[in-house]
Structures are given as C-alpha cells and as structure tokens.
C-alpha cells in the first residue's frame, strides 16, 4: 500500500506540472506553490481539492497566463501533518521572491502565521485557518478569503434557529469535532451564541483520524441532543454518519461544516445518509467547468479524472486557485502588467481584491463563486454559504445564500486579534501602512 501511494503521488505530481520550476521562478513565470495531500488518511478529500486547484492554474496558462506571465507550480504533499507542512513551506519558499501559500490545514496555518511576515509570503486560507485573521489590521499576511469557521458556525446556527422558529432556549446542541486546531475553531462562536440563545452546548472531540467514534455516539444516544454539528474531515465524516445510522440518530438533524459535506463524505453511506445537511460555499455549475473539460480533459491534460470536475471539493480547490490568481492580476494593475510580482506586491493585490459579478462572468465562474472584495481591515472579503442536503444519491440546495451575522463575529474577531497582537507585541496597522 505504501508503494502504491508513492507511485500515485509521483504520478499526480508529474501530471500537475504546469510549467517547470527552478531556484527562483524563471523569467515571466509566477510561482504558485501547492501544499496538498494525496497520501495519508485524508487523501480521498484532499485529492479532488488539489485537482481542482491544479486544473484552474492550467486553464489560466491556456488562456495566456496572468497578462502574459505564465504560472509555474510545484506540489508538496503534507499528508495533513503540521510538521510536514512546515517542511514543505521551507523547501518551496526559496523558489520565488515571495509567493502565495495555501496551507490547506488549520494546524499548518497556525505554524506558518508567524513565519510568513518575515518571509513576506501571503497565506491564503479560503474557508479554514484562524478565524480572527479576518482582521487585516493585525494579520497583515493572512487571508481567510470567502469565510472563516466562525462564519460557518454562525450560518449553521442561523439555519437551526430558523427551523426552531427563532427559539433555541433549552435545546441541546452537540459539536462532534476533529480534535485538532481545525475542529476547535468554531467553539468560541458557538459559546457566544449559546450565551444569548440559551442552548446547551456539548463538546465531543474525536481523535485523529476519526474512524473510532463508538464512545462519542454512545454519549449522543444517552444525552439525546436536538441537533448534532459535524466538524470532521476525511474518513471521520463517513464514520460519523454510519454511527448515526447504527444508533438511530436522525440524519436530518445533523449539520456539517463545508469540509464535512462533499461527495466522499456520503457516497459510502448512500441512502443511510439521506437527509444529512451540510454547508457549501461554492456552486455546482459554471461555464469554467465546460472550458476545463474541453481545454484540458479532452486533450488528456487534466490533473485528475474528468468525473471529478464539478464535484464539491474540486470546485472548492478551483475557486481557491482563482482567488489567488486574481490577487496576482490585481497586483499587476498597480505594479506593472506583464511583470512577475513579489510577495509584498501579491499581498497588496489580495488586500485590494474586487472580484465583481462581471469579472466572474468573464472568467466563467458565475455559479461557482459570489463577488468578493477585500480591504486593509477585512481580509475575508465575503462570508456567506448555502445549505445543501443529501437525498441518498446526490446533493441538492436546501437554502438560499445566507450571510453570517457580524454582530456575533465582529467583537469576537477583535477580541482574539487583540489577544494575538498583545502576545506577539504587535501594533495595529496605520492608514499609511494600509496603502503600502
């Protein structure tokens, strides 16, 4: 099995190569490092994300690059391990004069947050990472674009509140979460909402990788929570759904974060998962998908199997790559079209994103992404998602887009950002620094 994984990883890395890389990206090449995982316990979920990410970069090159600047990339497999993620970062950071990094792990994000400022490398954590890093006045180099875990938790609680006609007093909410920085992220927001909404919150951690959950679901059977929130990843999600089936817990009262609501999470459970609800931050359809099939997969140049194109995690990886590329386009508008951007210039581009509906239409991303704009103070840009529900065979939207409630999130963000600043002896950015 180990040999097979190595062969698959080597093949995938070779397939992904968008353009060759060398010490410092070659002339007219913008380096996009890819910290991904095609091996390990979380590979079934990590692979489609990585394939969507890779395919979008290939499409940009096929369309002429970033104003003529071609993209070069290199994968480094972290296996979702923090130590390996740091090793990958250290190995790749010398290949360009600054680049945008996607840790694709909250644990790796925590480890890199202190490294990135000195190296002048922006960190994009689209839909994960440190929730307080939305505060760009403290976290100059972190970009949790498109939504944090506090936004996700808030949206889920809005859906549940609406289901209960706005009254959650006395209700029992159980959070089944991956016992890691990722799984712990929503706790602060859920506790804040509990104070005002009056529900009882129980915290049920699940040890990596999450296969064994018998004791967790025994507690659920005994305590009979009104709702279960699932904050899992990889095999943990399917294991939780199978335990719900075994213990008779209603799947329609389970709500998963966007990393717990993709095809790999439900396909092995099938009809047993019917009624399960989960967040989705990107749409199912868009012209870009047909373009990728025609331009890449019809020519046997796709990063992974064509059947993955349009799936939840593939679309998420593709959208993440798009936001990074748009950061480079935006930087070129200020620092020179057709030039390779430095890390500082890329950071400015990400901080001044303005992805309009018209721009999404041009890119073929209408239906996949919503408009997004950032600023010095707001490194998140947008914070909305839909709920979709598994019907036994496929996902289908069950709500319209829902915006996170900033009355809960804004004070929490400032509180945690101020705490980080005090610990690291940082001062909030000045207006002049915001223009730099």
- Whether residues 398 and 419 fall in one domain: no
| Length of the chain in terms of residues written | 436
- Whether residues 260 and 295 fall in one domain: no
Q: Please answer whether residues 55 and 37 qualify as being in contact, where contact means their C-beta atoms are separated by less than 8 angstroms.
A: no
- Whether residues 41 and 142 fall in one domain: yes
pLDDT of residue 12: 45
- Whether residues 44 and 144 fall in one domain: yes
In tens, the pLDDT along 138-193 reads 999 999 999 999 999 999 999 999 999 999 999 999 999 999 999 999 999 999 99
User: What CATH number did the domain enclosing 189 receive?
Assistant: 3.40.50.2300
As a whole number, the mean pLDDT across the chain is 94
- Whether residues 71 and 162 fall in one domain: no
- Whether residues 378 and 397 fall in one domain: no
- Whether residues 402 and 358 fall in one domain: no
The domain of 251 spans: 150-282+385-406
- Whether residues 235 and 293 fall in one domain: no
User: Measured between alpha carbons, how far is 18 from 29 in angstroms, rounded to an integer?
Assistant: 11
For residue 32, what are its two tokens?
């996009």
Q: Please answer whether residues 371 and 382 qualify as being in contact, where contact means their C-beta atoms are separated by less than 8 angstroms.
A: yes
pLDDT of residue 415: 98
Q: Provide the domain count of the chain.
A: 2
- Whether residues 68 and 24 fall in one domain: yes
Residue 251, helix vs strand vs coil? helix
- Whether residues 377 and 391 fall in one domain: no
Residue with tokens 């990722």, as numbered in its chain:
182
pTM of the entire predicted model: 0.93
- Whether residues 53 and 169 fall in one domain: no
For residue 82, what are its two tokens?
């923090």
Tell me which residue of 89, 72, 91 sits closest to 28, measured CA to CA: 72
Tell me which residue of 103, 141, 92 sits closest to 125, measured CA to CA: 103
In tens, the pLDDT along 348-388 reads 999 999 999 999 999 999 999 999 999 999 999 999 999 99
- Whether residues 292 and 370 fall in one domain: yes
Cα-Cα end-to-end distance for the chain: 50
Tell me which residue of 89, 116, 107 sits closest to 35, measured CA to CA: 89
Q: Mean pLDDT for each 10-residue chunk of the chain (436 residues)?
A: 41 45 60 97 97 98 98 98 98 96 97 96 98 98 98 98 98 98 98 98 97 97 98 97 97 98 96 98 96 98 97 98 98 98 98 98 97 97 97 97 97 98 96 86
280 DSSP β-pair partners: 386
For residue 361, what are its two tokens?
């239409």
């Amino acid at each position: 099995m180990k040999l097979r994984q190595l062969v698959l990883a080597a093949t995938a890395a070779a397939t992904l190569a968008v353009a060759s890389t060398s010490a410092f990206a070659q002339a007219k090449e913008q380096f996009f490092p890819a910290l991904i995982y095609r091996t390990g316990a979380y590979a079934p979920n990590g692979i489609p994300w990585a394939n969507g990410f890779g395919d979008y970069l290939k499409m940009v090159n096929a369309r002429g690059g970033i104003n003529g600047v071609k993209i070069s990339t290199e994968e480094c497999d972290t296996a979702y391990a923090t130590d390996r993620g740091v090793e990958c970062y250290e190995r790749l950071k010398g290949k360009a004069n600054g680049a945008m990094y996607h840790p694709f792990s909250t644990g790796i994000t925590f480890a890199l947050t202190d490294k990135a400022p000195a190296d002048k490398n922006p960190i994009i954590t689209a839909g994960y990472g440190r929730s307080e890093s939305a505060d760009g006045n403290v976290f100059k180099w972190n970009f949790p674009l498109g939504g944090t875990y506090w936004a996700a938790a808030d949206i889920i609680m809005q859906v549940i509140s609406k289901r209960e006609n706005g009254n959650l007093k006395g209700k029992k909410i159980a959070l089944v979460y991956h016992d890691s920085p990722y799984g712990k992220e929503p706790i602060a927001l859920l506790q804040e909402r509990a104070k005002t909404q009056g529900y009882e919150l129980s915290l049920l951690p699940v040890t990596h990788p999450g296969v064994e959950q018998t004791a967790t679901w025994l507690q659920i059977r005994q305590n009979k929570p009104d709702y279960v929130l699932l904050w899992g990843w990889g095999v943990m999600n399917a294991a939780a759904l199978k335990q719900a089936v075994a213990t008779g817990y209603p799947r329609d009262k389970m709500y998963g974060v966007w990393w717990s609501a993709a095809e790999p999470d439900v396909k092995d459970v099938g009809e047993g998962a019917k009624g399960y609800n989960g967040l989705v931050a990107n749409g199912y359809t868009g012209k870009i998908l047909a373009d990728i099939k025609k331009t890449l997969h019809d020519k046997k140049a796709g990063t992974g199997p064509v059947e993955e194109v349009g799936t939840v995690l593939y679309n998420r990886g593709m959208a993440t790559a798009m936001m990074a590329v748009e950061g480079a386009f935006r930087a070129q508008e200020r620092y020179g079209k057709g030039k390779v951007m430095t890390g500082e210039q890329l950071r400015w581009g990400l901080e001044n994103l303005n992805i309009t509906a018209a721009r999404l239409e041009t890119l073929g991303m209408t239906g996949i992404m919503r408009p997004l704009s950032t600023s010095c103070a707001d490194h998140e840009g947008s914070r909305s998602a839909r709920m979709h529900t598994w019907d036994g065979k496929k996902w289908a939207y069950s709500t319209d887009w829902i915006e996170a409630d900033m009355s809960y999130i804004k004070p929490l963000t400032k509180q945690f950002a101020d705490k980080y600043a005090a610990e690291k002896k940082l001062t909030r950015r000045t207006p002049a620094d915001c223009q730099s």
